Amino acid sequence: MGSSKLPLLVFAAAIVVGLAGASFRDECDIPWEPQNARFTDDGSGLSLSLVSNYSGCMLRTKKQFIFGRVSTLIQLVPGNSAGTVTTYYTSSVRDYHDEIDFEFLGNETGQPYTIHTNIYVNGVGDKEMQFKPWFNPTDGYHNYTVSWSPCKIVWYIDGTPIRVFRNYEQSKGVAFPTKRPMYGYSSIWAAEDWATQGGRVKADWSKAPFVANYRDLYLDVCECSSYGGDDCATRCASSHRGGRSMCHLSNTELAQMRQVQNKYMIYNYCVDYKRYNGAIPLECSLPQY
């Protein structure tokens, strides 16, 4: 992995890492394989283990929300992490779900992780952007944040935006999540058929368990526990009303995002012309900053 640092990122990273964290133990449940999770004594830290190709672990927030900011610090699986996927994402439940993804695809020792981002709306995804890290995500903790508002979704790493997806639903007919409450999730699981170099490299189960560590959960969300889904969408949208600045990145953020995308993006569905027979999805022709 590259050890070079982006000069614009240092100050933002220091700010985000300093955020106070909530307790994973208090704020979350573990609906899948709870025996593979370990909390720190104060509940602010957590480890998730992948033990076999059918036994990983998943954690879910107790809060269900529409719009907000979810953030945590993650130290990814070190060494040979091929065939593993560690995640941090938000998702609704039931059919035609909405979802905002960070997925970290493992690799052979010495080869970089793939940082995979995607968004699903009404059960339809296929909006992938992937990056190689400009840091070692297994050597210490790094902050990963999803910011979801009525006008945009932003993916951040260490306080630096790497991707934006704007809301063009009313003006252009591009689907955007605005009505289905989501939970925040963290998980680790096996995906040998596709995760590493297109499935060519499988997990070395003699190295199991594969362990990812999390610290300092941060939730600043519009919670839906006290009223129904439709009312939640209306009230949460109202609470996020603001001017133009709320719907656009600052000039500094825009410069940071462009720097990351120019140097470290390795896949962008918007320029995969073969996939779309020479055409591109509508949102790809619209400003995303």
Known catalytic residues are: 99, 103
**CB-based contacts of 125: which residues, under 8 Å, 6+ apart?**
99, 118, 119
> What's the CA gap between 249 and 254, in Å, rounded?
6
* CA separation for the pair 9, 5 (Å, rounded): 8
Q: Which of 83, 79, 55 is nearest to 198 (CA)?
A: 83
Query: What is the token pair recorded at 256?
Result: 């940071």
